Amino acid sequence: MILDLFRLNGKVALVTGAKQGLGQGYAIALAEAGADVAALDVGEVNETGERIAALGRRFMPVKCNLRDASVDELNKIVGDIVAHLGRLDILVNNAGIIRRAPALEFSEKDWDDVIHINLRSVFFLSQAAGRVMAKQGGGKIINVASMLSFQGGIIVPSYTAAKSGVAGITKALANEWAKYKINVNAIAPGYMATENTAPIRADAQRSESILARIPAERWGTPEDLHGAVVFLASAASDYMQGAIVPVDGGWLAR
């Protein structure tokens, strides 16, 4: 049956930035599809854990600041997940931050902080997970790209650079790891109602101009991404490699 391809029973997923917002949504969606979940965040993930436990799935909190984490620490995190949950089948590289300032004034710290969390950690967590998945005989890595993987944006140079890089390494890793039956793809959310977009949504003129370009005529929600993440985590996407999948209400189609 076709729906069986989407089931994740017996799988273990790691989701970064899973305390709230889109990351919490990804974690809950994967649990609803049958996966046990490790949730990584710099803050407490109690609410996410309670909601996943209520679904009857195993849950493992992982506290980590990806801005400062070393490669050895990231490898240890993956090893601990395998030790506690038995395996690692799915990695969702969701954690991200944004800093806004004109390019002529952009600081070194704001550049480094965004690149470390949004791009560096994506590669090295993928590397750690990929080593485990290659030995297991396969796995799914889902990166979180952005509309700014396709566009330049305004006053967000480090975010645009990082998300363009995420799209690039998604394709690069897909090319190298397909032979290990590791699928590497990315979701590119459109304009979502999250903390990252709170300043834009609070600006009535900017928010109106954005909504005017979205054919769906609304901001996205975490629930709008549930189907995409389950699809890319499941056997239903076994022949997809290096795809950047927009879930944007039609933004890029305009």
Residues that are catalytic: 159
> 175 vs 138, 167, 181, CA distance in Å?
14, 13, 11
> Structure tokens of 43?
């803050």
Phi, psi of 248 (to 5 degrees): -135, 10
Please give the radius of gyration of the chain, using alpha carbons only, rounded to the nearest integer.
17
Phi, psi of 170 (to 5 degrees): -60, -45
CA angle (138, 150, 250) in 5-degree steps: 95
What is the tally of helices (H) and strands (E) in the chain? 9, 7
